[in-house]
Chain A
Amino acid sequence: MSKTRSLRRQLLVMTFIVLLFISSLALWGAHIYANRTTKISYDRLLYGAALQMAENITLVNGKVIIDLPISAFETLSLSSSDRAFYSIMNTQYQVLTGYKDLPDIPFPQLIRESQQNQPIKPLYYESNYRGERVRFIILSKRLLEADKSKTVFVIVGQTMEARAKAAKEFNQIALQFVSVFFIITMLLLLFVIWQVLRPLQSIKQAITERSSLDLSALDIHVPSEIAPLVGSINYFMAQLDNTLQRLERFTAESAHQIRTPLAGLISQAQNALDEKDAALRKQQLENILESSQLLTQTVNQLLNRATLTHRFQSHPFSLLSLDELIKDTCRELVVWALEKHVEIAYVGDAKTNILGDEFALKQMLHNIIENAVKYSPEHGTVEVELMTQSTASNQALSNQATLQIRDQGVGVCDEDKLHIFEYFYRSADNVAAGSGIGLSIAKEVAEHHKAAFHLKDNQPTGLIVEIVFLCVEESKQ
């Protein structure tokens, strides 16, 4: 037996995975944002410091005077544990003040930009200096004095500890936020899943709580997605109820059908005991015998039906020759029919194979032919005819075989045709002895074989029972 998979667990696992994915995405985004933000804000500090330095460089009598302001360094010291480096250079790349060995200054780029005669934007670059990664900014300033002008470069660099720390803090806050979000969302989803699955629980509850005899429809409010399920359950229960009712009726009817002849038998036997006249007694005893035979017939039919019901569930179909089967059955019955002065005629020479249960089909044919014989007038003929595609005009029926059993009896009026298949149904003006169960069984067998069962009127009088079988194709024979 395969392991049952819990819907709740599947939902949980799926939501967990989805949440995990979303959270990772959020963290990743926050990480990128944090790095970008800290980079921008600390770059601004660097830029600010460089600007303040540039502000205090002046040209006096052709000499560059550098009076660096403390505020530039105070700006830098906002990143309290980062080392800082700076240098002021002239266009000959001579260091005017500050660090003399700053690495990787992007002079080519600066020269290119200055040649384009545009206002030079500050350039940022990173390099390793004195054992640490340092982010530098370089900007240029043109110093003007009357007719002279000189350009100086201001380079400021700072290590990146504070940036890393700020980004880390940001990431930690993001992590905390996402964790809380994750937990709260998970809890909410747990609640939602519980809430969503509750109707299923309530259906189970409703079914377990009711008595085993209660087959009325479930009356519970469920979401529209689950309503079809409840509908199916209710439909199934209605079917079951119907079946049970039929069974009950059948049982009662069967009992009644057996009890009535039994009562007759008892009273007839009683009369026979009391009868002094030998001729009358003999007549009575013959009546008893007849009644007993009828009763045996009924009981046999009931047993047959029970056997058939069992076979329907347990017996697989096998390939069999339909025409042979019909002929056999006719042969078996022909003597019995002749006793009743009725002839059975097998018409046609069609051959066809079908998949079916031989025992059940034989039972069906027996019942139909017996029935036909029973209602035939004396010296009448019961015609049994099997037609296959060769005889059928319609091409659509090419893989069908039609069996007709025709009698010349009184026929069945249209009203009775509706009820003739009900158990123990007997027409009010029916004079023949019978159990009223044979045709019902026949129809059940036909339906079990997916064959169509029709009742038609014979001309001038009589009944045609027509059964349309599905044949096995030639290639499969």
Chain B
Amino acid sequence: MKYYLAFLFCCFMASGADSHPSTPSPSNTTNTYSYPSLAKQTVLLTVHGALDHALIAPLFRAFITQHPHTQIQYTQLNTNALYQTFLDAPQERPDIMMSPAMDLQFKLVNDGFALRNDSPPPQSLPMDSQWRQELFGFTYEPIVMVINTDILTGSPLPTSREQLLTLIRDKDHLLDGKIGLFDIKKIGLGYLAWSYDSQQSRTYGRLLEAFGNHKAQLYTDTHTMLEALLKGDLFIAYNLVGSYAFQWSKKYPWIVTLMPTDYTSIIMRTAFINRQTTHPKTAKFFIDFLLSHQGQSLLEASGITPLDRHITGQNSRQALQKLPHGIFRPIPLGLELLIQTDSAKKQLIYDEWDEALGSSMSPSQ
């Protein structure tokens, strides 16, 4: 049912040869990358995450430099697959679990799968970015909407959800099949952002109705959606993770990434140590490194907004503050997340979703 396409990525720090492989093809959602240790191999640290390996690779390399006896194996999966693999295949559980699906991560930790890391988190991180010293937030990423400005033709660029609805109403049939969304049933992050919207605002119902009326397309990963925007298959993508979208916008200026000005949801990517890890010490070192100034700086350099507000740079929180935005509403890292995992609640949201988007289909690949 599930198989891993072994993809060995070797990195030689000493030579400094930065031989990045090209971005894996979008259909290839399961990839495993190895980072051999610099010294005689002693410890193999397995990491599962949803983050593009290319973006996190510098962090791994830096960690290996500091801990030469460590070898890292990184497996990249989408958020739902991460969760399901963790539950269904106990023998394949990683030492470190990273995911932006805060609710699923929280559920795993609440259910007792995490190991406590007693070293105090850095002072520069907000107090509520960790839970029980078991689950640690390490990024600060806005949920955004992305618009291909070709659709505007004179209409003003929408900045809020309300204005987005106005635009959809104005353009009407031009947007049929041209709105892209995460398939919330398949992508944990999509569900998280969508259900959080349902808690936050009344526009949620009208948005859902508008998406349904215009036969919104459902996607399972960000890259495909961004490429569809570029190609003109889509004009509007809603609830994307900011980190990728901002980079895309930089490359293609007519693809505009917007933080809605009514409110901007913020998600944190989170990490925890598997309780059954055989290398608790190394795993704790890794978490500490991830949260350290160096680790946070490396994330920023990769284009991911780090949690640490003291980091500067064009992808930092300080830079985000300067862009137009609404009230930042970070999804709280706490028991509130349990409601997102509630099956009855999920069914209610799915039912509304299906009712509105019943005719929608995933785009043919």
Contact = CB atoms under 8 A, between A and B. Distances in A.
Given A74-B336, A76-B335, A77-B336, A67 B132 contact: no
Contacts of A83: 110, 112, 132
Given A67-B348, A130-B111, A132-B112, A80 B334 contact: yes
B334 A77 contact: yes
Given A68-B345, A81-B132, A97-B343, A73 B112 contact: no
Interface string A131-164: 1100000000000000000000000000000000
B342 interface: yes
Interface in B333-352: 334-339, 342-345, 348
B199 A70 contact: yes
A96 interface: yes
A98 B199 contact: no
A88 interface: yes
Interface residues of B, number: 18
B344 A84 contact: no
B285 interface: no
A74 B331 CA distance: 12
Nearest to B111: A130
- Residue among B131, B339, B343 facing the most chain A CB atoms (10 A cut-off): B339
Interface in B315-358: 332, 334-339, 342-345, 348
B133 to A, nearest CB: 8
B79 to A, nearest CB: 21
Nearest to B106: A83
B163 to A, nearest CB: 27
Nearest to A158: B335
A303 to B, nearest CB: 99
Kindly name the residue among B336, B337, B338 whose own CB sees the greatest number of chain A CB atoms within 10 A: B338
Given A74-B336, A76-B335, A131 B342 contact: no
A190 interface: no
A66 interface: yes
A65 B348 CA distance: 9
Contacts of B131: 80-81
A463 B338 CA distance: 123
Contacts of A131: 112
Interface residues of A, number: 25
Interface of A: 65-70, 72-74, 76-77, 80-86, 88, 96-98, 130-132
Contacts, number: 55
Nearest to B133: A81
A353 B111 CA distance: 105
B344 A88 contact: yes
Given A67-B344, A96-B344, A98-B342, A77 B335 contact: yes
Contacts of A73: 334-339
A40 B199 CA distance: 31
26 contacts: A65-B344, A65-B348, A66-B342, A66-B344, A68-B342, A68-B345, A73-B334, A73-B336, A73-B337, A73-B338, A74-B336, A77-B335, A77-B336, A80-B334, A81-B132, A83-B132, A84-B110, A84-B335, A85-B110, A86-B338, A88-B344, A97-B343, A97-B344, A97-B345, A130-B112, A131-B112
Nearest to B110: A83
Question: Sorted from nearest, which 9 A-B pairs have the closest CB atoms?
Answer: A97-B344, A77-B335, A66-B344, A130-B112, A77-B334, A81-B132, A73-B336, A76-B335, A73-B335
A84 to B, nearest CB: 5
A77 B335 CA distance: 5
Contacts of A132: 112
Contacts of A81: 131-132
Contacts of A65: 344, 348
Contacts of B344: 65-68, 88, 96-97
A76 B344 CA distance: 19
Contacts of B111: 130
A130 B107 CA distance: 13
A86 to B, nearest CB: 8
Contacts of A69: 339
A66 B336 CA distance: 16
A325 B69 CA distance: 119
A84 B348 contact: no
B112 A70 contact: no
B339 A70 contact: yes
A67 B345 contact: yes
A415 to B, nearest CB: 108
A35 B110 CA distance: 25
A70 B110 contact: no
Contact of A70 (B132, B336, B343): B336
Interface string B87-113: 000000000000000000000001110
Given A68-B345, A70-B336, 19 more contacts: A67-B344, A67-B348, A68-B344, A69-B339, A70-B199, A72-B339, A73-B336, A73-B337, A74-B335, A77-B334, A77-B335, A77-B336, A81-B131, A84-B110, A96-B344, A97-B345, A130-B111, A130-B112, A131-B112
A15 to B, nearest CB: 44
B93 to A, nearest CB: 16
Nearest to A83: B110
Interface centre among B199, B335, B337, B339 (most CB of A within 10 A): B335
Nearest to B198: A70
Contacts of A76: 335
A86 B111 CA distance: 11
Given A74-B336, A84-B335, A97 B110 contact: no
A80 B112 CA distance: 16
A97 B347 CA distance: 10
B337 to A, nearest CB: 8
Nearest to A129: B112
